[in-house]
Structure formats: structure tokens, C-alpha cells
Structure 1
Amino acid sequence: MAGAIIENMSTKKLVIVGVILLIFQVLSFLVGGLIAPSPTTAVHYLATKCVDNRKHLQRTKLFMPWGPNQCEKIRDFDEAMGKQIKADDIVFAVHMPMPNKDMSPWFQFILVILQFDIAFKLVNPIEEGAIATIDVSLAFRDDTFSEWTEMAHSIEHRKLSCIFSTAKAPENEGRHYECDLLPFMEMGSVAHKYYLINIRLPVNEKKRINVGIGEIKDIRLVGIHQNGGFTKVWFAMKTFLTPSILIIMIWYWRRITLMTRPPVLLEKVIFALGISMTFINIPVEWFSIGFNWTWMLLFGDIRQGIFYAMLLSFWIIFCGEHLMDQTQRNRFSVYWKQVGPIVFGSFCLFIFDMCERGVQLKNPFYSIWASDVGTELAMAFIIVAGICACLYFLFLCFMVFQVFRNISGKRSCLPAMSKARRLHYEGLIFRFKFLMLVTLACAAMTVIFFIISQVNEGHWHWGNYTVQVNSAFFTGIYGMWNLYVFAIMFLYAPSHKQYGDEQSNGDLGVNSGEDAQLTTTITHVDGPTVLYKMTGKEAQE
């Protein structure tokens, strides 16, 4: 029967393939480290205080902080009190980006964090559990002459979490509270050049709206977006890697279909892994440059979730099918206890994502982090996801240990063989162990990347917007996934060389006779052999 390429290819050719893959892996890190800039940039904005002098009119006008049609401004609230301007008539205006700059679709997304500058006043302190009610509008335009078009309007609530580090005494009036940053807005595309945000803080003492939130001096925003240079490098990588995985996947399945037997479970799972890798590779993000596809962030999360689920399931089945003493193999139902939790966790991840980014398709100001329950849920998700990822890796290490232990037990038969045959099988064992160690390394890097990406996203919402992961890590891990999938499909594809029992035994000078054959394989007996076959006579000798 035809074995897999990993067992039939010469050591010299395998070393050449390994060196080529290693070079591409190093290049994937260098692309991010030397060519691409940091993945994201944080830009600080200070809101301009505009005055709405219109009386008895619906407040639909948008106020521009600068330019030819700029609003009437005030410096602070003391000036507003001197001019008898009510709090309801003050609009905090923020133009994104800064003057003489414009936004770009290459930015891919915008995440905005809000911070209140609140001064301490004995007569107006921040009450326990104070909630700020924000009347906010978002508008866009693509040139500096056209009118603003409102794209979203919402009334949001944000709970204040502020501390005053010094004594609350008269001499300390005017000092600012230390307030946590608040999630404010997230958009999944940047299709327009200019954006305008107008924020009102309406006051209604009867309904306790914006009462007990202290004396707000200023509103600051932090806009976080993906760097355009990193986006171009990322798109280029996806465009380059997509055809390579697609071609190897077609070649792999063609070799499987040429076999006289039906494909076994491991071969099917490898093909499914190639499909999931192709799905995440396809650079549909190119369309986001010309179209306002606000759902691209959600779609990207779904693609990554499918790939994670397939990759984690593959590793479980890959190790399980290589347990030589496992009596039941080549059936997906055997792994439902291991794969089931992975599918369930992926489904929970999808629901969690839909609860935030799904709603943001209609209301970009919605955030699951805005409420206590949502924050606790999001925090719990990040912690549980990290713990589960670590437990999964430990379980995978245990399965690999079992495989290695079984192989060590079978190696006791090797000294009885002829020298040529023993060296042949020792080489196969070494190849297999090396591949398993590479799998563990890939799993470890994937788990680390998953945890860091979840924590990094959490840091954005917690306000630590300076936390960034180096571009080399993103491009390196992404390249590692592609190279690993490429290597698995190449090495586990059926070889064109035919190694039947008679041919194999004849080449190595082994007497087959009529002795019962003891077959030990790392996969299924009908699939790639990948390790060795021994006759009963050889085992006795």
C-alpha cells in the first residue's frame, strides 16, 4: 500500500522542506518586525465646548469645533455661568481626525474611549454609583465643503468610577478626580474621511438625570484605529498565502481520491483544516477599502473562531489517531467528549461576540462593558477563556506524552530487526516525534496568541490604550498557522511510491513466510502507516 510522504521521502528532501518552511517562518516574523508599523495607534482628542443658542427648536443641528462654520465656544463652565448658559445648551464637539488630516478605509476600525475631567466641589460631589447620561450624535462627510450627514444617534448611560486621592476638604476644591476611562464607541469600518461627534449632558433634577456626577470640566476622547501601513502588510500576506494553501489543499485531496480505499478520519480532518485555513486567508478585506461594510469586524471574528475550533479539534484527533494502543479509531464519534467542549466554547464565543459587535452594527455607541453585569460577564469570559486555553494545552501535552510512551514501548522490538530495517524505522520514529513536538510548539504559540489578543482587547475597554502587541507577533503567528497547515497536508498526503509488504520486506532482506503479521501504526491500519510494520517472526527474533 502507499504510505504517507513523511515516511517515504528521503531524509535529505525532508530536511530541505523543513529548512524552506523555517525560512518562511522567519520571514513572516521579519515582515511584521521590519516592514509593518505597530498594529494600532491611539489619538487623543479634547472636546470643544460649543454653545447652542437656539431656543424652542429641535436640537438636530451639528456643531463643528473649527473651520469656516465653527460654533460659538466657551472656555469653561464658569464662563457659561457668567453668560447664563444652561448645561443643556452646551455641546461637546470632537472632530476626527485632527485638522489638516483625514481618515482612511485602511484604518479598518475605530474604537473610541471616553474620559471625564471632573473637579472636586464640596457642594457638588460625585455620588456613589453615579451614572452619566450621554446624548451623542455621530456624523460624517467626505470633503470639507459638504454638509454633515448624521449616521447614528443614541442616548447612552455610563457608570462613573472615580476616586479622590486626597482629603475632601475646602482647600482641595478644584482638584480633579481620578476617573476610569469609559467605553464609548466602536465602528467596524472607516469608510469616510471626516467624522464629527456631538455630546450633550442633559440635566433633569426631577428624573435624576446627570445629577450627582460632579462638576465636569472637560471631555476627552481617545480614538484607537488600525495603522494603514500594518493593514497593507496584513492584506499582502493574506493575498500571498491564500493561493498557496488553496493549491496544496487541492493537490492533497486529489492524491486522496486517487487511492483505491476511501479516505480515513485523519485525512478528512486534515482536509477540513485546510478548508478552514483557506476561509480565514481569503482577503475579502480588500472590499472594505471601497465599500462601507460595517460587519467586517464581526465577520473576521467568526472566521477566526471557526479556524480556532477546527485547529483545536484537529490536534485532539491527530493525537488520538496516533495512539497505537487505542482500539477504536477512524470514527469521529470516538472524540465527542474532547471535541464537544471545543464546539460548545466556540458557540459561546460567537454568542458573546454577537451581544456586542452584532448590536454595534445598528448602534456603534453600544458596549457590553458599559454596565456592571456586562463588565463582569466580559471579564469572566476573558478569564475563563484563558483558563480553558491553558487546560486544553495541558491536555494536549498529556496526549502527546501518551503517544510517546506507546512508541517507546514498541521500540523494544527494533533491536531484533536487521540493521537496515532498524535504522529505517528509527528514522520514521524520529520524524514522527519531531512533528509532534512542532505541533506542541504551534499549539503553545496559538494559546499564547489567543490569551494575549483577548487581554489586549480587554485593555482597550479598560482604558489601557497604550498596550500594544508587536506587529511581528501577529504576522509571525499568522504565518506559522499557514506553514503548519501546509506542512501537515504535504507530509500526510499519500506518497506516489508503492511500499507493499512483499516489496518492503524484499528490499530489506526480511523473511515474511507464513507468520502472522503484527501491524503497529500511528494512524489507522487503512490509512498512512507513518511508523513501521513488523512480522511476527521479526518480533520473535
Structure 2
Amino acid sequence: MKLSLMNVCGFVFLLLFLLLVTAGCFFLGAFGPPHTNVRHNDLSPCVIKPRNEPHPPMVDSINCDQLGAKLVEHDQSKLQVVPLKSVTHYVHIPNEKRGARMNRWYQFMTVFIDIQFTSEFVKKVIEKNAAVISLNITVGYKNTNTIKEGSWSILASGHVSRVMNCHYNENDFPSCNHIQLFELGSVHHSFYLINVNFDPFPLEKTIPDHRGLGPVKEINMLEIHHSGGFTIIFLGLKSIMLLVTSVIFIYYQWHMSALNRPANVIEKTLREVVITLIFMNLPLEYLKLWYDLPWMVVLNDFRQGLFLCALAFFWAVFIGEHQNYDNLSESGVAKGIGNHLKQLLVVAIGCLTLFIYEFCERGIQVIFPFYSLWSTREGQKVAWLLVLIALLCVLVYYGVLVVQAVRVVVTLWKREKSVEGLSETARKRYKKVFFIFKCQLVVTLTAAALCVATFLPSELLLHQWQNVNSYQYSFYSGMITGNYGLWNAYVLVTMLLYLPQHEDQDQKSDSTSAGDIDMQQLMAKTALE
């Protein structure tokens, strides 16, 4: 691959461009609207009125009898008065008293339930190694603020079981984590109603002296949705990046088509990276403003994963092509992608593992929003296994990348010594190319390190437990926009840095005054010496 002979000022300008775009995108997300908004709602308990209808309407404030808070403690004596199976908890999203409505800019919505048990009961759960609760969930919707019975349409319903993870907090006080109820990949409607029924079965066989939920102090609902302001900023950013990357890619392809030689493996891989980047930059989320597309969240994760997979392939090929000198042909050009099968196999395993995790989690939620891979003990083991395999692949890949980069730097250092005997003009020309190439290696390793340090944790930290509105800025939001800006800026800088020169320009220049320097051939000479 030939390195364009731009001057040092031009290269410094490209580096400043990369830094400014990354920093600007980070601060745009960090100091702009938060990535998610959190709303807390209290569940209202109701006694179900007996009805002879085969499909009775959802329980709402107009067709239920309100229960007092003491009646929802669900101990044995209270159950003799009101059976647990006759109690339905309902909640409006958003709260009907606030006069608000949901917005299609919200993109997705996740709902959790927070059951606060008595400390004595939680201690028993911890001693018996957690417990499982079963519940029936029904989600309804409407788009007009009509107050009448039967105005809600059912969106989804199902029977689910959830594992309770209880522990002692930092104050040595027993407590249980929030329990995820469902996740919607599209917020297409204005109002939502949730009905929850708890099964009146023993919580756990090891705790037979408690029925239903056990002693409960309070039940709250936690609703998290994508911030509308963040969605507007991010889609605007994607639209700008789509335009810029498309124009630069067309310019790059025009230079490639003018060459009288086939593209080498690095140029082909770079082209694939740019194509996946443009595919990722397409602001398809605008379609959700008109259509109910719950699968769009999965498609977005797939597009991002596809780009990162292509980028990891490019980094392995880019550094490997300048390190595998024993496999160079007589012309000094590497034989092909077969020289990097080990690194590419690690990338493929990592990407495939994350794809399986995404499909098992959000993919199934498109059809059944109440499903969660983390809801059962077996599912948690599978989820952690997939995450650990992906993490291991990422660490092995980056370790090999660093080792190869060190070998390339050592070869560059030897080559720098070998050009001391050349003329002053040729020596300056070679040293300038060495400097630019070493900086490109540093930028590549830095970008790879940032991807490793932020992408995988961001996949696990999909839900923020704290109220993000209480912060003046959000590091998580800045991490998302900063990574996005870094990926785009890095690919743009790489395309401009390795922009092919026309053959007629190469023919007008000699080997020491103009044209491009083929780094593979140049460094192969050092390896053979």
C-alpha cells in the first residue's frame, strides 16, 4: 500500500481534524441532552371485579377498586381477605396526572419493577441463594387521551418468571435488584398501560412459610426511554457524517479506478470498511417517526457490529501486511488475506459471539418483549459465557495487534538507519514518510484501544440505574457520540492518508523526488537485509 507524500503540516492537520471531531462529538453528547430519561411511577393495586366477558378490558382507574397500601403487604392473614390472584397492579406511562404523552423520538422503552421486601424476608432469600417470582404482564396502548372503559388496545401479554438477585449493600442492609419486565424497540404510541398479576405460588420451595411475594413494603415501576433530544442530535450527526463519508469515498474510488493495477488487500479491506461505515451512518431511525419498527434497534446494533468487525479486519490486515515480510512475493506485495487467518479467526469468533448474544436478547424481544436472557439462572450463565468469550477474543486480538505493531516499529527503526547514506533530499523524504507511518500506527492502536475500552462495556451497560437527569452531563452519552465521531474521523483520515496517486503522476516522478512510497516494499528490503 502506498503512503501519499503529503507534507508534515498536512498530516498534522489531519491529526488535529481527528482529535477535534472526536472531542467535539464527545462534548456534544456529554453536555447535551442525556442518552436516556428515567421516570419513577407507583403501581396502583386493584381488586378485579368479576366479569363474564371472555376478553375483559384492561384494568384501569375507572374499572377497579383502590386498595390501601397496608392491604398489599401480602402476608398470610391478608391473603385470607383478598387472594393475591384477584389483585392487579396497573400503571400509566406516562403518568396520567402529569398530562404528558410519549414521543416517537424516544426510539425504545425499557420497564423495570422495584419490589421492596421486608429486610427479614430478604435475609432468608439471601440465605437460600435467591428466589424466583412468576407474574403475568399485559401492555396496552392508545393514541388519544380518551377516558372510557375498553379504550386500550393490547400490545403484548405473557407469563414470565424472573430471578431475584438479593444482596447486602454497602451499609450491610439487605436489598434486591430491580427486575426487568419488558423492552419495546419502538415507542410508536402516545399512552401505555401496564397490568401486572403476581402468581400466588410459593416464592421458593426452600421458603415454604411465605406465599405469593412474601412480605412487601412497596412496589414501584422504573421506566427508561431514549431521550428525544439526544435522538435529534445523534441523527443530525449521522446525517452530516453520511454526507462527508460518501463524498470522500467517491473521491477515493475515483482515484482507485484511475490506477493501472488491481487494488491490493489493504485497499480492498479499507474499501469494505468505508462501505460498512456508510451503511452504519444511514439515519434509518427517521422511519420510526412514521412506522412502528421494533426491529430497528436490532438492525442498528447489527450495523454497528458489522462496521466494527470490518474495522478490526482492516487493522489486522493493515499492520500484518507490514509485518509479514517472509510471505512477500518477489514484487514485494503480500500474497493476500490468507496470511492473517489467525487474527481474522479471532475477530470472526468475537463478532459471532456478540451477534448470538444480540439475537438471543434483543432479537427475541422483537417478537416477545418480555423475554430476557438474564431472567433465568441458565440464561444468565449463557449470557456471561458469551460475554466472556467476546471479551477474551477482544483482549487476544488487541494483544496480537500491539505485538505486530512493535515489530513494525523495530523494522522502521532499522530502515531509518539504513537511509543515512542516501542523499540529503532522499533522506529527508524517507524520514518524513517514516514519521507519518509511525504516527498512523499510534493513531490506529489508540483507536483500537478506545474501541476495546468502551464498546463492550457499553453493550453491557444498556440501562442506567441512576436518574440521569440529576447530572449536568452524562459520560455515557459522551462515550456514544465520541466513539461515533472517532470511528468516522479515523476512517476519513486513513482514506486521505492512503489516497492512491494516478499512474501518470507516478511516471512523471523518479524514486527520490516525487510519487508515493510503497511501505511494504520499502520495509521488505530491511527484512531481507
TM range (shorter): 0.7 to 0.9
**1:140-155 matched pairs, under 5 angstroms:** 140-145=141-146, 147-155=151-159
Amino acid at match of 2:139: L
Aligned mates of 1:386, 1:188 — CA distance in 2: 26
Aligned mates of 1:311, 1:291 — CA distance in 2: 32
Counterpart selection for 2:39 from 38, 43, 46: 43
Q: Does the Cα contact within 8 Å between 2:239 and 2:283 map onto a contact in 1?
A: yes
Aligned residue in 2 for 1:490: 496
**1:399-418 matched pairs, under 5 angstroms:** 399-418=404-423
**1:324-339 matched pairs, under 5 angstroms:** 325-328=325-328, 329-339=334-344
Q: How far did 1:96 drift?
A: 0.7
Deviations 1:168-215 (CA, angstroms, capped at 9, x unpaired) = xxxxxxxx9622221211111111111100001132579989946412
Query: Secondary structure of 2:23's partner?
Result: helix
Single out whichever of 486-495 and 260-269 deviates more from structure 2. Answer: 486-495
After superposition, the Cα gap between the structure-2 partners of 1:415 and 1:355, relative to the gap in structure 1 and judged at 3 Å, is same
Q: Is 1:422 aligned to residue 453 of structure 2?
A: no
Aligned residue in 2 for 1:228: 228
Amino acid at match of 2:272: A
Aligned residue in 2 for 1:478: 484
Aligned residues: 500
Aligned residue in 2 for 1:75: 68
Aligned residue in 2 for 1:322: 322
After superposition, the Cα gap between the structure-2 partners of 1:75 and 1:177, relative to the gap in structure 1 and judged at 3 Å, is farther
Aligned mates of 1:386, 1:53 — CA distance in 2: 52
Q: Does the Cα contact within 8 Å between 1:51 and 1:72 map onto a contact in 2?
A: yes
Q: How far did 1:59 drift?
A: 6.2
Q: How far did 1:489 drift?
A: 1.2
Q: Does the Cα contact within 8 Å between 1:114 and 1:181 map onto a contact in 2?
A: yes
Q: Does the Cα contact within 8 Å between 1:111 and 1:225 map onto a contact in 2?
A: yes
Amino acid at match of 1:160: M
Q: Does the Cα contact within 8 Å between 1:187 and 1:364 map onto a contact in 2?
A: yes
Aligned residue in 2 for 1:515: none
Aligned residue in 1 for 2:239: 239
Query: Secondary structure of 2:448's partner?
Result: helix
Q: Does the Cα contact within 8 Å between 2:203 and 2:214 map onto a contact in 1?
A: no
TM-score (norm 1): 0.84
Aligned mates of 1:361, 1:455 — CA distance in 2: 19
Q: Does the Cα contact within 8 Å between 1:125 and 1:215 map onto a contact in 2?
A: no
Query: Secondary structure of 1:262's partner?
Result: coil
After superposition, the Cα gap between the structure-2 partners of 1:14 and 1:53, relative to the gap in structure 1 and judged at 3 Å, is same
Q: How far did 1:133 drift?
A: 1.3
**1:504-523 matched pairs, under 5 angstroms:** 504-505=510-511, 507=513, 521-523=518-520
Counterpart selection for 1:23 from 20, 25, 32: 20
Single out whichever of 308-317 and 19-28 deviates more from structure 2. Answer: 19-28
**1:114-513 matched pairs, under 5 angstroms:** 114-119=113-118, 128=128, 129-145=130-146, 147-162=151-166, 178-203=175-200, 211=211, 213-323=213-323, 325-328=325-328, 329-457=334-462, 469-496=475-502, 500=506, 503-505=509-511, 507=513
Deviations 1:111-143 (CA, angstroms, capped at 9, x unpaired) = 112221223678x97694532110110000111
Amino acid at match of 2:305: G
Q: How far did 1:30 drift?
A: 3.0
Between the aligned residues of both structures, percent identity stands at 25
Aligned mates of 1:11, 1:152 — CA distance in 2: 60
Amino acid at match of 1:106: W
Bigger Cα Rg: 1
Aligned mates of 1:494, 1:520 — CA distance in 2: 11
Aligned residue in 1 for 2:105: 106
Amino acid at match of 1:228: G
**1:91-102 matched pairs, under 5 angstroms:** 91-98=88-95, 99=97, 100-102=99-101
Q: Does the Cα contact within 8 Å between 1:138 and 1:152 map onto a contact in 2?
A: yes
Aligned mates of 2:314, 2:71 — CA distance in 1: 65
Aligned residue in 1 for 2:331: none
Aligned residue in 2 for 1:8: 5
Query: Secondary structure of 2:216's partner?
Result: strand
Query: Secondary structure of 1:131's partner?
Result: strand
Single out whichever of 448-457 and 203-212 deviates more from structure 2. Answer: 203-212
For the aligned residue pairs, the C-alpha RMSD in angstroms reads 3.3
Unaligned runs of 5+ in 1: 166-175, 509-518
Q: How far did 1:299 drift?
A: 0.6
Aligned residue in 2 for 1:512: none
Q: Is 1:61 aligned to residue 57 of structure 2?
A: yes
Amino acid at match of 2:293: W
Deviations 1:307-330 (CA, angstroms, capped at 9, x unpaired) = 111011110000011227342424
Aligned mates of 1:233, 1:206 — CA distance in 2: 46
Single out whichever of 83-92 and 221-230 deviates more from structure 2. Answer: 83-92
Amino acid at match of 1:414: V
Q: Does the Cα contact within 8 Å between 1:321 and 1:330 map onto a contact in 2?
A: no
Single out whichever of 81-90 and 271-280 deviates more from structure 2. Answer: 81-90
Q: Does the Cα contact within 8 Å between 1:163 and 1:178 map onto a contact in 2?
A: yes
Q: Does the Cα contact within 8 Å between 2:112 and 2:179 map onto a contact in 1?
A: yes
Q: How far did 1:374 drift?
A: 1.0
Aligned mates of 2:163, 2:203 — CA distance in 1: 19
Q: Does the Cα contact within 8 Å between 1:132 and 1:158 map onto a contact in 2?
A: yes
Aligned mates of 1:91, 1:218 — CA distance in 2: 15
Q: Does the Cα contact within 8 Å between 1:322 and 1:521 map onto a contact in 2?
A: no
Unaligned runs of 5+ in 2: 329-333
